Every structure is written in C-alpha cells, then in structure tokens.
C-alpha cells in the first residue's frame, strides 16, 4: 500500500512525539534523511549556519533544533509539512545516545566485525533498541555517561561500523525515506536503550590527553594534528571533537590559538573555527 506524503508526515510526527516522551530530542527529516528545514542563513554568506546554532530563534539549524518539547516538535513539523521522518539527536541528556550504525553496503560483514571487536575487547552488546534500515543495516542504540563527548566517526572502529555521537543524529523508527521505512527490530522497541559497555566506550572516546609539566601539552599536539589531517568534509567535526577534548582536559584556553591556526590551515575561516570552538566550550560546560 502506497503511503501518501501527508500520511507519512502524520506518522512521522506521531513517532517523533513518542520518542520525545522517552526523553529523546527530535527534528523533522526530509525523504533524503537530511534535516527537513533549511538554514535561515543560507542566503547570507557572512553568517553561515555554523556561526548560529539557533540563537537567532528561527528553525533550520539541523540537529540544534532538536527538542523533547511536544509543542516545539509540532511547530517544527508544521514548518516542514514535507517531512516524512525524524532524526534523534545523539549525545544529549538524559540518555547521551550513541548510535552504532552497522552498514550492509560495505564489502565486509559489519556485524561480524562488531562480534570480533567484542571478543577481542571482552564486551557484550546488551539487549537494546535495534533499528533496521531500508537497506537491511542496523542501528544499535546505546547510552553514554554524562561528561564524555563521543565523537561521530565512520569506519574508525572497524570497516562498515559508523558511530553517531555528539552533533549527530539517528533516523528514528517509523521514518520513511526515499529508500523505504526504518523499523524497530522485533522484540526491541519496548527496551530502554542500554548503557554502552565500558570497554566499547573506551574504543569510542579519543585517546586521553596527558598533561606534561609547565603547560606544554603533548596530547594537545595530537589534537592539533587530528585537525590538520581532516578531509574537507570532516574539518568542522574534527575541530569540534578536538576542542571538546581540549576543554575536558583543562587545556582549552591554551589550545585555542593552535587549534584556530590548524583549522585555518585546513581551509576553515577564522570566524567558522571560532564559532565551532565556542560551541565545544559550551558543550563541555565551559565559557567560550
Ligand atoms: Zn540562526
């Protein structure tokens, strides 16, 4: 049975509201799986989206629009009547959701890769919510501890395994996209998202930054290097991640200038880089 767009929107909103009831912050998604609402700043080159994370009061800031407030969610969907799905923001309280995205498109079997990781690092994936994607991939929902920023990564853990962390989102079950519907795997929809096993969490977190004497920071160089080696599509994410680690380890202010310089070397403007570092500071509970 074909589902009309209007029905798809109504269904997506209903699913989004029920996710919000479970404490998951949501945004409307288009059939493309991208945020349904475009940036209100897209025509103002001087004010790119990354400089504003919603402070302007309008919708269209991607995952920064995400909310658990039913009135705000209804307003977001009313502003995007073409939405057929919803995204669940990762890394936010109270769940600090981490998505383990097991791809089926890759050559290697990502489920087998995860089992191998689990054997090698002595953890077991607890029973948790599993979302099946239209291509047969699976998203495992785990929760993280507060105070740690799990970065997004693609294939870093193992080929075919992507991680959705802070600043990322997961397509919610009940969403319809161009390629089909996202559904919950049988028997998992009633489960609460389970805590990420500590051994797996250690693999997801960037290596700890070690302080050496006199304000010289060996780990800081690693963070700067991490930004310097970013490809075009990862510049902003890597800068955000590195800045979060710097602030978490109390070297944010010291690393500000080196990180800015590294970001400019990769092609970000100073304005963009400063905005990203400022949001990393806020995210980790520091003053930018
Ligand atoms: Zn704005």
The pLDDT score that the predictor gives to residue 213 is 46
d(CA 284, ligand 1 centre) in Å? 21
- Ligand 1 centre distance from Cα of residue 271 (Å): 15
Look at residue 216 in the predicted model and tell me its pLDDT: 41
Could you give the 3-state DSSP secondary structure of residue 139?
Answer: strand
- Tell me what pLDDT residue 248 has: 81
With a cut of 70, list the residues of the chain below it in pLDDT: 1-4, 45-51, 106-108, 207-219
Residue 218 is predicted with a pLDDT of 61
What is the DSSP-derived secondary structure letter of residue 170? E
> Rounded to the nearest whole angstrom, what is the distance from the C-alpha of residue 64 to the centroid of ligand 1?
10
CA 239 to centroid of ligand 1, rounded, Å: 20
CA of 57 to the centre of ligand 1 (A): 6
DSSP tag of 51: G
> Which tokens sit at 274?
């400063």
CA of 185 to the centre of ligand 1 (A): 37
Record the tokens describing residue 282, joined without a space: 């806020």
Name every residue whose Cβ is closer than 8 Å to that of residue 43 and which is 6 or more positions away in sequence.
none
51 Cα–ligand 1 center, Å: 8
Helix spans in the chain (H): 5-21, 70-79, 110-121, 198-204, 218-228, 235-248, 252-266, 270-283
Ion ligand 1 nearby residues (CB, 5 A): 52, 56
For residue 45, the model assigns a pLDDT of: 60
CA 279 – ligand 1 centroid, Å: 14
Tens digits of residue pLDDT in 155-174: 888 888 999 998 899 999 99
């Amino acid at each position: 049975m074909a589902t009309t767009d209007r029905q798809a929107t109504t269904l997506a909103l209903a699913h989004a509201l029920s996710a919000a009831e479970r404490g998951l912050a949501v945004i409307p998604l288009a059939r493309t799986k991208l945020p349904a609402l475009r940036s209100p700043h897209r025509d103002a080159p001087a004010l790119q989206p990354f400089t504003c994370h919603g402070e302007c009061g309008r919708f269209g800031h991607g995952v920064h629009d995400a909310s658990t407030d039913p009135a705000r969610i209804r307003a977001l969907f009313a502003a995007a009547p073409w939405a057929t799905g919803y995204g669940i923001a990762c890394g936010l309280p109270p769940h600090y959701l981490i998505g383990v995205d097991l791809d089926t498109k890759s050559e290697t079997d990502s489920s087998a890769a995860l089992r191998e990781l689990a054997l090698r690092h002595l953890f077991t994936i607890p029973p948790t919510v599993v979302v099946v994607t239209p291509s047969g991939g699976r998203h495992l929902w785990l929760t993280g501890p507060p105070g740690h920023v799990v970065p997004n990564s693609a294939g870093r853990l193992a080929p075919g395994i992507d991680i959705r962390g802070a600043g990322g989102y997961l397509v919610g079950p009940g969403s319809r996209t161009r390629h089909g519907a996202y559904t919950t795997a049988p028997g998992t929809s009633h489960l609460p998202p389970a805590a990420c096993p500590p051994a797996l969490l250690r693999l997801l977190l960037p290596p700890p930054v070690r302080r050496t004497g006199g304000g010289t920071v060996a780990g800081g160089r690693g963070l700067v290097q991490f930004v310097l080696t970013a490809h075009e599509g990862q510049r902003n994410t890597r800068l955000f991640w590195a800045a979060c680690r710097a602030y978490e380890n109390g070297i944010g202010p010291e690393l500000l200038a080196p990180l800015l310089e590294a970001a400019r070397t990769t092609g970000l403007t100073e304005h963009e880089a400063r905005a990203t570092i400022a949001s990393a500071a806020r995210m980790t509970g520091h003053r930018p």
